[in-house]
Chain A
Amino acid sequence: MMVDWGFAAQIAGIGFLTVFVVLGILSLVLWLVSLLLNRVTGKAQKAKTEGG
């Protein structure tokens, strides 16, 4: 059976890269969300302390 090594390399290369990109983007989004939430909750807490 003839193996299309070019196609195999494409699947493996694109596949592995995609896994990295997807998990990398998710990692970045999670980091941004936690940063944003910390800012918002930090500000709210600060306002509460100053107000109280």
Chain B
Amino acid sequence: MDLFETGFASLYWGHLVMWLVAFGFIYLGIARKMEPLLLVPIGFGMLLANLPLGGLFEYVDGMPEGLLAKIFTYLIAGEIVPPLIFLGLGAMTDFGPLIANPKTLLLGAAAQFGVYFVLFIALLFGFDIAEACAIGIIGGADGPTSIYLSAKLAPHLLGPIAVAAYSYMALVPIIQPPVIRALTTKKERAIYMEPQLREVSTLERILFPMIGAMVIILLVPKSAPLIGMFMFGNLLLVSGVTDRLAKTAGDAFMDILTIILGISVGASMPAILFLKPETLFIFFLGVVAFAGSTAAGTLLGKLMNAISKEPINPMIGAAGVSAVPMSARVVQKLGQEANPRNFLLMHAMGPNIAGVIGTAVAAGVFLGMLG
């Protein structure tokens, strides 16, 4: 075989850089066990897309030709997979901590601050308003919402935004602690909260997805695909009569979607698209958005602690970024470091789930104003 019929002839330095990035993702997933279900498929997809002449992410005359290009175009950018992932998430989510302590919804709202802060910075970097909104939503720390919004507002940035969102979700344990530590004293981090939340009745759990869907979708109609699927998935979980559907939605169905999403998002990063200054800006803005959201959530937590009769550990506000359950786990870990008696996980799950809803609402508002 002639050497020039192989992929070697088409290799350039950009491919080698992307191989290193792909190996980095796979290494983090396998060796460091950081979000392996996401990082391993994304890393491998990235590797495949950067093996020249393989054609897996090839477009001809703007139409997808390669396998992963077709999956990406029709299922991811076609806005099918992100809402379905919300269905699976709903079927896996216990809304109990949120129902038991509804004021934690406000922490989820505060933790969207980074989205709006970065919107302005992105404009300064030269992005247009639709692109800036799509980049800002990375601060919500919600992969499916980031993909859904960027597919609508800035499809040409979908690849870098998706990779940035999922990478930072995996890096929550590294990004959040310094921000939380900088904004809280050790005394605040040690604030003890009773581990037991009030018991939530089955009726409340069943009513929540219906009430939640009605309130949110009536107020922000463009959030319907995400919120509607999220609440439907949750109704399957709590109804008590659709266990089979909930199990499928939360297990096998979710796994299939994760495989499809991970490998095709990774494949959307060929060197020629990835190694551009704007991609680096997006990664930089993403981490700023994450940090800004963490900071705002923590600060509202401090305020709520100051005005509340019962002590509130301000760190639970940081869990308002919607990386479920990573940010709640970070809060739990920092809480125990400061006070071994503390068990903040359930308290942090309320804002954490509120963050998912908050990011979907933020995306819906953007679509309503720009879509």
Contact = CB atoms under 8 A, between A and B. Distances in A.
Contacts of A19: 109, 112, 358, 361-362, 365
Interface residues of B, number: 41
A11 B109 contact: no
B105 interface: yes
Contact of B126 (A1, A23, A25): A1
Interface in A4-45: 4-5, 7-8, 11-12, 14-16, 18-31, 33-34, 37, 41
A41 B201 contact: yes
Given A16-B112, A16-B113, A29 B215 contact: yes
Secondary structure dominating the interface of B: helix
A47 interface: no
Nearest to A15: B365
B366 A23 contact: no
A25 B203 CA distance: 20
B365 A8 contact: no
B207 interface: yes
Contacts of A12: 116, 119-120
B204 interface: yes
A12 B115 CA distance: 9
Given A11-B366, A22-B216, A41-B201, A27 B102 contact: yes
Interface of B: 98-99, 102-103, 105-106, 108-110, 112-113, 115-116, 119-120, 123, 126, 128-129, 132-133, 201, 203-204, 207-208, 211-212, 215-216, 219-220, 354, 357-358, 361-362, 365-366, 369-370
10 contacts: A15-B116, A16-B116, A18-B365, A19-B112, A20-B109, A22-B361, A23-B109, A26-B105, A26-B212, A41-B201
